[in-house]
Amino acid sequence: MAPWSSIKPMKIIILSKDHGTTRSITLGGWTRLLLSVCMLGVPTALGALGYSWLIAPDASERISAESLQAWENALALQKQEVEQIRQEAKTQVAAMTLKMGEMQGRVVRMEALGERLVSMAQLDQGEFDFSSPTSLGGPEYQAESYSPPDFLAVVDNLSSQIDNRQQQLEVLESLLAKRKIEDDIFVAGRPVSKGWISSRYGRRTDPFTGKVAFHGGIDFSAKEGTDIVAVAAGVVTRSARIKDYGNLVEVNHGGGYVTRYAHNKSNLVKVGDVVKRGQIIALVGSTGRSTGPHVHFEVFKHGRSIDPATYIHRASR
């Protein structure tokens, strides 16, 4: 390294704006050395100052405090959003639970209603088994891409469809019940399953006096003790021993229709009983004004005696 005395002077030439004149400055060796030290030392000093600021104890605390505060704010915001999502989810789950409970109740009622309709319509139980899952099948195909609908909207739509089907089934049940009632009270058929007509409705020779007299019913001769059945559903309005009729059962079927079954060996129903079509109500006998075991069958419409033959020969609905 050269000694300080060997440092040569440095000459600086300064030009004017128009380059017309010049000025020169000559820096001696020590001046040149001082300028170099300044140019190199200032950046170094600034860097050292910045480094000392960064590594100072209070600086690290200041950076950590600011970062921690920012993290706490972000976490608080996220926590608030998560809590809001949780509350919305709980609300939706509660709503779905209520909806599913309502739908389950409707499905149970529809199953019970369907089983009742199957019974009323006398359908094959195996054909409409409401207790078994629906049978489905078929080949597999590539499903088309689609956006699934909102779950609650689907539940609401299904609930609406169930309500609609339940209303339709209730209307159908009402119609079937009405038809069944009409069929049950439809007066048709014979009061005994075995027997033969021994005397018809109208004018005949009285078996006791030999004179012409009016016969207000049809007599079915049958073996004593043979079952006598109601030709339609109704309510028993009389069950007693009447002078010429002997043991008599009278049934009101509604719609103005009343039937009578007389000369019974015994009556098996009492006043107020509700009887069904085909139900046994008495046994064939020969009580009252009778020459032998038979049932005297009468039909009244709005209080007027009519020929039972019309109702005996028409088919049950």
∠ CA 313-236-267, nearest 5°, is 85
The answer on 173 and 227 residing in a single domain is: no
Whether residue 84 is found in the same domain as residue 166: yes
CB 184 within 8 A of CB 154: no
Length in residues, the chain: 317
Distance CA(215)–CA(50), nearest Å, equals 135
Residue 293 has φ and ψ, to the nearest 5°, of -60, 120
270: three-class secondary structure by DSSP: coil
67 is a domain residue? no
d(CA 102, CA 91): 17
> Which CATH number is 261's domain given?
2.70.70.10
Residue 83 burial by Cβ neighbours in a 10 Å radius (0-12, 13-18, 19+): exposed
Task: Provide the 3-class DSSP secondary structure of residue 238.
Answer: strand
> Both 180 and 206 in a single domain?
no
Q: Are 194 and 166 in contact (CB under 8 A)?
A: no
Nearest 5 degrees, angle CA 116-CA 121-CA 126?
75
Residues 6 or more apart from 312 whose CB is under 8 A from it? 188, 189, 190, 218, 297
Task: Please indicate, yes or no, if residue 62 is contained in any of the structural domains.
Answer: no
Cα–Cα distance between 247 and 285 in angstroms, integer? 9
In a domain, 136, yes or no: no
* 97 in the same domain as 39: no
Beta strands in the chain (DSSP E): 10-15, 22-27, 196-199, 202-205, 212-215, 218-221, 227-229, 234-242, 246-254, 257-267, 274-275, 280-284, 294-301, 304-306
248 with 218, same domain?
yes
Judgement on whether residues 171 and 97 belong to the same structural domain of the protein: yes
Same domain, residue pair 98 and 27: no
What is the phi/psi pair of residue 158, to 5°?
-65, -40
Q: Are residues 159 and 229 in the same domain?
A: no
Residue 135, domain member (yes or no) = no
Residue 180 shares a structural domain with residue 212: no
| Six-digit token string for 135 | 């049978």
Using the structure block, give the residue that is written with the tokens 């079509």. 277
At 54, which helix (H) or strand (E)?
helix 29-54
Question: 307 in the Ramachandran plot: left (φ > 0), alpha (ψ -120 to 50) or beta?
Answer: beta
Task: Tell me whether residue 168 is in a domain.
Answer: yes
In a domain, residue 11? The reply is yes
Amino acid 29: pLDDT: 56
- Tell me which residue range forms the domain holding 42: 4-54
The last residue of one of the domains, among 184, 204, 229, is: 184
Per-residue tokens: 61: 């605390």
Residue 138 is assigned to a structural domain of this protein: no
Per-residue confidence (pLDDT) for residue 23, from 0 to 100 = 59
Residue 219: C-alpha distances to residues 71, 261, 271 (Å): 106, 10, 24
How many structural domains does the chain have? 3
Residues 292 and 204 placed together within one structural domain of the fold? yes
**90 and 174 belong to one structural domain:** yes
The closest of 214, 213, 220 to 290, measured between CA atoms, is 220
* Eight-state DSSP code of residue 315: P
Residue 139 lies in a domain: no
pLDDT tens sequence for the chain (317 residues): 445 445 555 555 555 555 555 555 555 555 555 556 555 555 565 565 555 555 555 555 555 677 777 777 887 888 888 888 888 878 877 777 777 777 777 777 777 777 777 776 666 656 666 666 666 666 776 666 656 666 667 777 777 777 777 776 776 666 666 666 666 667 888 999 888 999 999 999 888 888 999 999 999 999 999 999 999 999 999 999 999 999 999 999 988 999 999 999 999 999 999 999 999 999 999 999 999 999 999 999 999 999 999 888 765 55
Q: Are residues 202 and 246 in the same domain?
A: yes
